[in-house]
A and B are shown apart, each in its own frame.
Chain A
Amino acid sequence: MSEPKTYFETVEGCRTCIMRGGAGAPLLFLHGANGAGRWLPFMAELAKGFDVIVPEHPGYGRSDTPAWLDTVGDLANFYLSFMKQLGLEKVTLVGTSMGGWIASEIAVRDPSRIEKLVLVAPAGLRVKGVPVSDIFLWTAEQTTRNLFHSAELAERMLAMPLSDAEVDISVKNRVTTARLAWSPRLYSADLEKWIHRIDLPTLILWGRQDALIPSAYADRFHELIRNSKVEMLDNCGHLPHAEKSAEFVAAIRQFAGEA
């Protein structure tokens, strides 16, 4: 397997950091509120069959924070330009959490470059009476414990100290997440109105023990996206790609292979 490369591409005036590896049909992975971080094992696995493209969103990680960035809709429009500029077609678009919200907004606007959509515990909708947890009141330690179902895995994550640069990036990511999703908290009334326009084949993946966005939200996404199916992962929290990476990769491979 070839090593992934990390490079910068300027799209819509924003210098954007991209990790890219593998060969095959393009798979665009949109990260969640905590950022993309490094090239993770699940990315390497997916790169065996896909051209895996992992940008850091404007406002996150090593990418710039452009003056135009105010809403998730801004990011959706950005990624339409991004796919066009990179010449991506027949894309498998995978988004987790905030990334799933962005992916949904992209698909509502223009699905022409997208083949299939994978939404992993996406934010973006509201189910009245089923509150999403308030990530902004969680300490860093609580966040790690709450995002993983496995206490052992959470302990292992907490045992790895962050470098100063990583701390700086996590503060930056948190600020951008607040900018995009503080109010209304983690959803968009417009997406609620228009998500029914998505008619792409869509896989909704959710950890059954998700403590951030309850798995009841999977039903809501399924109800509103007609060509969708739901796959629940057992013993899994909000980050299936990290906590259940083998099952996550298998689910995407199978879904991508389906006619």
Chain B
Amino acid sequence: MQFFLFHLMPYADLDLSAPDKYDSAWVTLPNTYYDPKKGHQLYNRYLDELEMGDTLGFDGICVNEHHSNAYGMMPQPGVLAGSLARRTKNVKIALLGRALPLLNNPITVAEEFAILDNITGGRFIAGFVRGIGAEYFSWNVNPAFSHERFHEAHDLIVQAWTRPGPFAFEGKHYNFNYVNLWPRPYQTPHPPIWIPSQGSTETIEWASHPDRRYTYLQTFSPVTALAKYMAQYRDSAEKQGWQASPENLGWAVPCYVAETDEIAMREARPHAEAFYQKFLRMPTEMLLPPGYLSLKSMQGVMRAKAQMQSGDKSLEAVMKSGMFLCGSAKTVREQIVRYQQEIGFGKILTMLQFATLPHDLAVKNMEIFARDVMGEIRKMDVSPALAAAK
């Protein structure tokens, strides 16, 4: 199993009454709540934390893109990835991802990712997403064209990476007379492509196409949804004539490890609850604007996300559903191994800083996780029972 350290770079100094007052931590939450002096501290602190991922022996570190919110302050994640590219030596850098439909010129991403791949000498992993619904309000991009633009932008970027230029690209949303990428990507044929998603049949069928075989990441979902969508990927691959391996599947989950279960829960509670109750807060209309999802997928996601959007978001509830891993190293280790054997993912992306969690606890969490969870699981050399049985 491969271990990745995922960070959202939240605005940890947020006045926690604000998301309640504005019914959202996104789009309409006034940026007067953001203090650049604190932001300066936070960005540097978070980059330090990600750089620690290199020395602690993680396989990779991850950043991503969100706009106009307190949940994750990386609207231009390439800036952060660029900084990390020079300060790390061994880890992969995964940018998970850029929201392609938001772009009027996807070539910018082809270029940005190619530069990162060149600087790191191939330590780069490309992530492509559609962004969450709120992004379509913030960037005023039509959600009804989200799927069309995603597929077209993806095709354009992959062609820009792989076809000798110059060539013409003739699409509906994107048209170029001269696609001719300088620099070309370092890796051949191009950096690995990962597709983070919150669960969508169309996305899974598309990612598992034999021509693509992209790594599918299930993000911040209950374990039942995780199991369902990973099985769906394997089934879809099989129907399309190939066998998916654990390598093709990843799970992104926030996690807190401490000396004992009791200490872990006590230390994590206010920050985990702030994550689910405050930083993720937004009305359904903002999360799922019209056209963003097909009707079929919308139903699927609503079921998977039911616990995130409504109902009980206490620490106990999110731990029970598997949306948050919390406990002693032994507890968390056993949980990950059990899920891995049952569900068959080969990559785990743990978010070890979340919401308001302060630096000292984040560092402690990372150190214990790296030594007693990641380190121990690596020694065990577990293989997923489910995938092996197939």
Q: Which residues of A come within 8 Å of B, CB atoms?
A: 134, 136-139, 168, 171, 174-179, 182-185
Instruction: Say which residue of B141, B143, B144, B283 sits within 8 Å of A137 (CB atoms).
Output: B283
Supplied contacts A136-B289, A182-B144, A183-B142, 11 more A-B pairs, CB within 8 Å: A137-B283, A168-B295, A174-B290, A175-B291, A178-B143, A178-B289, A178-B290, A179-B145, A182-B140, A182-B141, A182-B289
Q: Is the interface of B mostly helix, strand, loop or mixed?
A: helix
Listed A/B pairs (15) with beta-carbon separation below 8 Å:
A137-B137, A138-B285, A139-B284, A139-B285, A168-B295, A176-B144, A177-B290, A178-B289, A179-B142, A179-B144, A179-B145, A182-B136, A182-B141, A183-B141, A183-B142
Q: How far is the CA of A231 from the CA of B136 in the complex (A)?
A: 36
Q: Enumerate B136-175 residues with CB–CB distance to A below 8 Å.
A: 136-137, 140-145
Chain A residues, CB < 8 A from B290: 136, 171, 174-175, 177-178
Instruction: Say which residue of A139, A168, A179 sits within 8 Å of B291 (CB atoms).
Output: A179
Chain A residues, CB < 8 A from B144: 175-176, 178-179, 182
Q: How far is the CA of A66 from the CA of B144 in the complex (A)?
A: 14
Chain A residues, CB < 8 A from B141: 182-183
* Interface bits B274-315 vs A (CB < 8 Å: 1, else 0): 000000000111100111000100000000000000000000
Q: Which residues of B come within 8 Å of A, CB atoms?
A: 136-137, 140-145, 283-286, 289-291, 295
**Chain B: which residue is nearest A171 at the CB level?**
B295
Q: Is the interface of A mostly helix, strand, loop or mixed?
A: helix
Chain A residues, CB < 8 A from B284: 139
Contact A185 B295 (CB under 8 A): no
Q: How far is the CA of A179 from the CA of B146 in the complex (A)?
A: 10
Chain B residues, CB < 8 A from A139: 283-285
Chain B residues, CB < 8 A from A185: 140
A-B interface pairs (CB < 8 A), number: 44
Chain B residues, CB < 8 A from A171: 290, 295
Chain A residues, CB < 8 A from B137: 134, 136-137
Most A-side CB within 10 Å, residue of B136, B144, B283: B144
B371 to nearest A CB, angstroms?
46
Contact B291 A178 (CB under 8 A): yes
Q: How far is the CA of A183 from the CA of B145 in the complex (A)?
A: 11
Chain B residues, CB < 8 A from A174: 290
Chain B residues, CB < 8 A from A178: 142-144, 289-291
Contact A136 B140 (CB under 8 A): no
Q: How far is the CA of A184 from the CA of B141 in the complex (A)?
A: 9
Contact B143 A182 (CB under 8 A): yes
A86 to nearest B CB, angstroms?
29
Q: How far is the CA of A175 from the CA of B145 in the complex (A)?
A: 10
B130 to nearest A CB, angstroms?
15
Contact B142 A182 (CB under 8 A): yes
**Chain A: which residue is nearest B23 at the CB level?**
A137
Contact B286 A137 (CB under 8 A): yes
**Chain A: which residue is nearest B136 at the CB level?**
A182
**Chain B: which residue is nearest A182 at the CB level?**
B142
Q: Closest 3 A-B residue pairs measured CB to CB?
A: A179-B144, A182-B142, A178-B290
Chain B residues, CB < 8 A from A134: 137
Chain A residues, CB < 8 A from B145: 179
Q: How far is the CA of A174 from the CA of B137 in the complex (A)?
A: 15
B141 to nearest A CB, angstroms?
7
Q: How far is the CA of A135 from the CA of B137 in the complex (A)?
A: 12
Q: How far is the CA of A174 from the CA of B142 in the complex (A)?
A: 13
Q: How far is the CA of A138 from the CA of B285 in the complex (A)?
A: 7
**Chain B: which residue is nearest A185 at the CB level?**
B140
**Chain B: which residue is nearest A139 at the CB level?**
B285
Chain A residues, CB < 8 A from B136: 182
Q: How far is the CA of A178 from the CA of B140 in the complex (A)?
A: 11
B210 to nearest A CB, angstroms?
27
Contact B142 A137 (CB under 8 A): no
